[in-house]
Structure 1
Amino acid sequence: MSGDALFVHHDELLNYCFHNNHPFHPIRLQLTLDLLKEIQALAPEQIQSSRAAVLGELEWIHQPGYVEAVQQLSKNPPASSWIERAEQYGLVGEDTPFFSGMHEAASYVVGGSITAVEAVLSGRTMHALHLGGGLHHALSGKAAGFCVYNDAAVAIEYARRQYGARVLYIDTDVHHGDGVQWSFYSEPEVCTYSIHETGKYLFPGTGFIHERGEHHGYGACLNIPLQPYTEDDSWMECFEASVRRLIAYYKPDMIFSLHGCDAHALDPLSHMQCSMRIYNEMPALLHQLAHMYCEGRWVAVGGGGYDLWRVVPRAWSLLWLEMSEHPLKQQLHADPGLRLPEAWRERWQDQAEVKLPVTWLDDLSHWEGIPRRPEITAKNRDSLAVAMQDYPEI
């Protein structure tokens, strides 16, 4: 494998902020950047500055009327006529309210994911990470789930239009990647995969096994809905079994993965019981598969994750350490109790409302197992078997 990786970033991403008390807060990104710099894992030559997406690119996925609404509602203040129409575009309420500068900030989110795709498909680098991306719930004409523009869908469409690439989209956020799925539901050259807590109990209420794609895209859509309180072993079992079979069957030119880290037991917006273990092991599997099937071509973006202090910085940093083949990954393999840098903890502890973690991985000896673990594991295996029945075993 190669440590050839770029970290795509622009400071404008920090302006993608609905308000200071919103769960989707850009401090997640600041914490991660600071942690990576503290351990000297992010050299200046590894950082690629990104650009804003242009209107034509946004309109590959989004309706022109919706893009205009986002632009108008980004003004300070918007015209009252647009405020009155904000609800029809999903830009009101607690989840995704309009805010000043919204269009520009969201355009940089999209542009960063395009920059990552361009860097990989042009051959400049094998792997590219854009942690500011991952707004997978935005629909063609409506904002949803903290997402204004769907950067993942636009960037995948860029890969198709500019390079004719066959893309495998892998979504590991605890919430179903609905916006990306619907964007390519009829498209055979984009395969969408999502492993998530079942929509029976969690937003956006989709992502069931029977959602397989339609018309020429039938079979190029795979969902693995998991039971609430799923733990590490079952999550990894379902993920590895399904992704290995899917990539062998689909044979993509590039992996585009989305790394929400909200399946962690500490996350306040889901009901899963996973630890940092999956955020250490899952990127390693994707890295291996990218080299096995895609000549290393792998783009990754961020996503959800709402324990801003204890989970997101560690999970996202582990992703970059894997992509860049940083030696700390090998140290973790030898010493699972490896400690986080004290200077980073001291710098942020006063701002945090919780005690910051001491180690990179969770100490599971203090965790209580879920009483229904055997039943949950069995149910997940049943779902996996049904989801995979049309894909040949390897």
Structure 2
Amino acid sequence: MTSNDSRTIWIQTSDSARYRFSDEHPFHPVRLALTESLLRGERALDNAQIAFPVSMEEAERVVRSIHRADYIEAVEALSASAPGEDADRKANAYGLARDGDTPYFHGMHEASLSVAAGSIAAADAVMSGSVDRALHLAGGLHHAFPDRASGFCVYNDAAAAISYLRDVYDARVLYIDTDVHHGDGVQWFFYTDPNVFTLSIHETGKFLFPGSGFPHERGDSSGYGACLNVSMEPYTEDESWLECFSEAVERAALAFKPDIIVSQHGCDAHAYDPLAHIHCSMRIYREMPRIIHELADRYTSGKWVALGGGGYDHWRVVPRAWSLLWLEMNAHPLLASIDSEPDGGLLPEGWSDILTNMKPEETLPVTWLDNVTAWAPMPRRAEITAKNRAMLEIALQHIG
């Protein structure tokens, strides 16, 4: 593990780039390459800050402790270059059907373990005191369940990292999920655990996968009260999203008093994202990391692990959003100029020139933030804002 002045590390994602369904699948590792290219274009990613995952053996131990044995056996069988007919027949039962959202692929087991290894390494580095903050953008596979894959997620690396923190450090973990899709897998892993608080802000499950994450989901048994769902209306914009997020995370941190924050940073609540209906701009991806950073400084002595997640406008949204996250985690000087300009200022030239045949034809952004004055306003803005406030009031009823 390399030390650095900023006390923040970047977990290397090269092995996790093998987590790849197909060139046509929306969950594609080109997002990782583009983000790194953008940060290097700004000279904002120092090689001295790059750390490497824990051993695959340790990752497998943790994964086997949270996922059911028969499910892992199915993943292993379907990871072969030519899975047998018996394995193929069972794929659907485990959420891995060839024509489904999470189709099996060659090397799937090893690639999924690599993702888990990165998130566990991030958690261990922060909780051990080696660093204060760690980012693993290949992580954040929050939909996987103990017994099946779901929503592009095979093994739940976020749950693995949290389980590791609980088992090794007896830590109280506040998990904050900012993906537009409800963080259902992580929630259900810890639904009865009073020492893991799961908070998810997302588009309401009334209209979006996975169809869960409503305010009445509050935990169960001894874990009742350690679960908070902020379920937003379609076409929510920046102001309402940030209003609800700010109050929810502040109330949760104050009531729960965590030892460490683990956050998931899917960036698919942007208006450009093709898989959801929220109408936010890049502003929320500047503000949410800032809010979490401030919470960590106040409640966890700075201990903060951040993971990636969804985000399906690979070129216009994900690289900027994830780069802003990294800049915030480092308190990078570039943020001062980004914050001083309405559009955030110019991106570095050539940031998108990576080796790929996937580059889209449309014009790519040239500034860090979006010029929202050019966007058509949502016609039901006041009604949407009022509904979100009413939802938040209900959601917060059980938070002290």
TM-score, normalised with respect to structure 2:
0.96
Indicate the residue corresponding to 2:84 in structure 1: 79
Whether 1:5 aligns to 2:1 is no
Q: What code does the residue aligned with 1:359 have?
A: T
CA–CA distance in structure 1, aligned partners of residues 306 and 374 of structure 2: 32
Indicate the residue corresponding to 2:398 in structure 1: 390
- 87-96 or 24-33: which moved more? 87-96
CA–CA distance in structure 1, aligned partners of residues 333 and 171 of structure 2: 32
Preserved CA contact (<8 Å) 2:59 2:120: no
Q: What code does the residue aligned with 2:189 have?
A: S
Q: How does 1:20-39 map to 2 (within 5 A)?
A: 20-39=23-42
Counterpart secondary structure, 2:351: helix
Whether 1:144 aligns to 2:146 is no
The answer for unaligned runs of 5 or more in structure 2 is none
Whether 1:89 aligns to 2:94 is yes
Counterpart secondary structure, 1:6: strand
The alpha-carbon deviation at position 335 of structure 1 amounts to 1.9
The alpha-carbon deviation at position 11 of structure 1 amounts to 1.2
Indicate the residue corresponding to 2:385 in structure 1: 377
Counterpart secondary structure, 1:113: helix
The alpha-carbon deviation at position 336 of structure 1 amounts to 3.2
| Pick aligned residue for 2:365 from 357, 380, 383 | 357
Preserved CA contact (<8 Å) 2:141 2:153: yes
Change (3 A) 1:54 1:117: closer
CA–CA distance in structure 2, aligned partners of residues 160 and 105 of structure 1: 24
The alpha-carbon deviation at position 342 of structure 1 amounts to 1.2
Preserved CA contact (<8 Å) 2:171 2:259: yes
Preserved CA contact (<8 Å) 1:8 1:130: yes
Indicate the residue corresponding to 2:223 in structure 1: 217
Indicate the residue corresponding to 1:18 in structure 2: 21
CA–CA distance in structure 1, aligned partners of residues 306 and 126 of structure 2: 11
Q: What code does the residue aligned with 1:104 have?
A: E
CA–CA distance in structure 1, aligned partners of residues 342 and 355 of structure 2: 23
CA–CA distance in structure 2, aligned partners of residues 213 and 349 of structure 1: 44
Change (3 A) 1:349 1:329: farther
- 53-62 or 5-14: which moved more? 53-62
CA–CA distance in structure 1, aligned partners of residues 347 and 358 of structure 2: 17
The answer for unaligned runs of 5 or more in structure 1 is none
| Pick aligned residue for 1:129 from 132, 135, 158 | 135
Change (3 A) 1:87 1:158: same
The alpha-carbon deviation at position 345 of structure 1 amounts to 4.0
Preserved CA contact (<8 Å) 1:8 1:48: yes
Counterpart secondary structure, 2:202: strand
Change (3 A) 1:348 1:77: closer
Indicate the residue corresponding to 2:52 in structure 1: 49
Q: What code does the residue aligned with 2:205 have?
A: G
Q: How does 1:146-185 map to 2 (within 5 A)?
A: 146-185=152-191
The alpha-carbon deviation at position 80 of structure 1 amounts to 1.4
The alpha-carbon deviation at position 349 of structure 1 amounts to 9.9
**Cα RMSD (Å) of the superposition?**
1.3
CA–CA distance in structure 2, aligned partners of residues 310 and 193 of structure 1: 27
Preserved CA contact (<8 Å) 1:71 1:102: yes
Indicate the residue corresponding to 1:235 in structure 2: 241
Counterpart secondary structure, 1:388: helix
Preserved CA contact (<8 Å) 2:192 2:221: yes
1:357-382 Cα offsets, whole Å, 9 max, x none, are 01000011101110000000000000
CA–CA distance in structure 2, aligned partners of residues 77 and 148 of structure 1: 19
Q: How does 1:264-283 map to 2 (within 5 A)?
A: 264-283=270-289
Q: How does 1:200-349 map to 2 (within 5 A)?
A: 200-337=206-343, 338-345=345-352
Counterpart secondary structure, 1:176: coil
Counterpart secondary structure, 1:170: strand
CA–CA distance in structure 2, aligned partners of residues 188 and 226 of structure 1: 25
CA–CA distance in structure 1, aligned partners of residues 40 and 243 of structure 2: 33
Q: What code does the residue aligned with 2:118 have?
A: G
Counterpart secondary structure, 1:273: coil
Q: What code does the residue aligned with 1:69 have?
A: A
Q: What code does the residue aligned with 2:193 have?
A: E
Change (3 A) 1:118 1:349: closer
Preserved CA contact (<8 Å) 2:126 2:132: yes
TM-score, normalised with respect to structure 1:
0.97
Change (3 A) 1:207 1:358: same
Preserved CA contact (<8 Å) 2:13 2:136: no
The alpha-carbon deviation at position 346 of structure 1 amounts to 5.1
Q: What code does the residue aligned with 1:30 have?
A: A
Preserved CA contact (<8 Å) 1:349 1:356: no
CA–CA distance in structure 2, aligned partners of residues 300 and 15 of structure 1: 21
Preserved CA contact (<8 Å) 2:102 2:151: yes
- 209-218 or 59-68: which moved more? 59-68
Counterpart secondary structure, 2:397: coil
Counterpart secondary structure, 2:192: coil
Change (3 A) 1:326 1:129: same
Counterpart secondary structure, 1:99: coil
1:92-125 Cα offsets, whole Å, 9 max, x none, are 1231000000001100000000000000011010
Preserved CA contact (<8 Å) 1:349 1:355: no
